Amino acid sequence: MTSAPSRAGRFSALLPDLTPLRASADFRLLWIQGVVTYFGSFMALIALPLQIKELTGSPLAVGVMGAVELVPLVVFGLYGGALADAVDRRKVILGTEAGLGLLALVLLLNAALPHPLLWPLYLVAGGVSALAGLQRPALDSLMARIVPHDQLTAAAALNSLRWQFGAITGPAVAGLVVAYAGHATAYTVTVVTFAVSVLLCLRLSPAPPARDNAKPSLRGIAEGARYAWSRPVLLGTYAVDLAAMFFAFPNTIFPFLADELDADWSLGLMYAAGSVGSLVLGLTSGWTSRVRRHGLFVVGGAAVWGLAIAAAGWFSSVWPVLICLAVAGAGDMLSGLGRSTIWNQTIPEELRGRLAGIEVLSYSVGPQLGQVRAGAMAGWTGTRPAIWSGGLACVASVALLTAALPKLLTYDSETDEDAVRRRAQREAGSAPAAAPVPPGAETGAGSGAETAPSGG
């Protein structure tokens, strides 16, 4: 007979591993700061497309927001990666967080006008994209420095939980706030959360570059790109996520899906459903800290995401749609855990910022392009066909990329050459002694013998 203690032990093994929160004061600060700022950010994330929809009534006009955000994200994401390797990352995080708060203030002032203008909404969307591109490499590259190597998967799970809190509560509350109190109130909440976030960021420890890197330059960005291109595992993580988000990110047309399902009340739930699925996985993520084959997470999670999105497009009743979106969110989180762990386990410290800039593009450009694709496709074929066709295209593209880059599936954190080297450097407490190996050099798993297809 199974005893109560043994059952309790198995249950506790599923709970999130809180070790990074106990071990690192800076990680605790960033985690709390993220809880606050994500809540406010998601309030604005929902209020902004709703305001564009109210002003224009056009799904394409909402989808264009993704196009407006794309160029600043690409340019400033790459530059932000080089910047994170050259300056104190704490200063980058602090400055960009203050800038995001000012842009939220612009949204508030515009919403307070008797007749709000449309062009400031697009202007702010582009500005937010630029500042986020600058900030994310600094934030992401900081994780590998402040969290011990063997706790990186646990830290990724905790960061995901933090994000999911904002992704669930922000949209749910935003829908009610916009409906009953107006856009201005939603933007006011966003401004306040960024003010609190700046105060928390002021308490972070300085995070100077690992060594005296040159100033940010195109040559430095190209060095990071060459390194990524020479690593099939890294290429696979970028390409799979980019394809999954491009084909199966229908969030921008959720307002029109809610109308089509005759369930306007469900809009906030649609935005939050994916995060509910991610939250469930996050709350039972203790087992992920004991997994070594993180490439399986990346591929399997992306496939689940695509299948669930395709199913959501087929159903004509809102509750099955919400369930499918929740399953998709769980798949997305699983894939994200795999990507984050592989990145932090394998990338050298002196290239961490520049590779984080490429990471920003891989998980941000896809959704931006996906918004444009979904909006244009919905205007041509209708809302639901745009969703289910994208989900099926996602599954097909993940299968093709996996076949083209098989080393992603066989990645093992105990045997991968880059992961072993990076772990040894962390354990020794010293910076890497050698420069990154250029593409084509004989480096075993990172020899560059495999590359993504030209379309990836």
104-131: per-residue pLDDT in tens?
A: 999 999 999 999 999 999 999 999 989 9
Q: What type of residue is 52? A: I
For 74, residues 6+ apart whose C-beta sits below 8 A from its C-beta are 133, 361, 365
CA-atom Rg of the chain in angstroms: 21
> 448 with 229: CB under 8 angstroms?
yes
Alpha helices in 217-351 (DSSP H): 218-229, 232-247, 254-260, 267-283, 294-314, 318-346
pLDDT at 455 over 80: no
Q: Is 410 helix (H, G, I), strand (E, B) or coil?
A: coil
pLDDT at 13: 63
Core vs surface per residue 55-68: b (16+ CB within 10 A) or e: eeeebebbbbbbbb
Q: Which residue has the higher pLDDT, 14 or 35?
A: 35
What is d(CA 277, CA 357) in angstroms, rounded to the nearest whole number?
Answer: 27
What is d(CA 178, CA 366) in angstroms, rounded to the nearest whole number?
Answer: 28
pLDDT at 444 over 70: no
Q: What is the pLDDT of residues 372-419, one digit of tens each?
A: 888 888 888 888 899 999 999 999 999 999 999 999 988 988 888 888
What is d(CA 427, CA 291) in angstroms, rounded to the nearest whole number?
Answer: 20
Q: What is the pLDDT of residues 47-70, one digit of tens each?
A: 888 888 888 888 778 878 877 887
pLDDT-based confidence at residue 84 (cuts at 50, 70, 90): confident
pTM over 0.85: no
pLDDT at 16: 77
What is d(CA 114, CA 283) in angstroms, rounded to the nearest whole number?
Answer: 45
Backbone dihedral angles phi then psi of residue 118, each to the nearest 5 degrees: -85, -40
Among 347, 33, 41, smallest CA distance to 159 is for 33
Q: Which residue has the higher pLDDT, 364 or 250?
A: 250
Distances (CA, A) of 130 to 42, 269, 325, 404, 443: 17, 28, 29, 32, 36
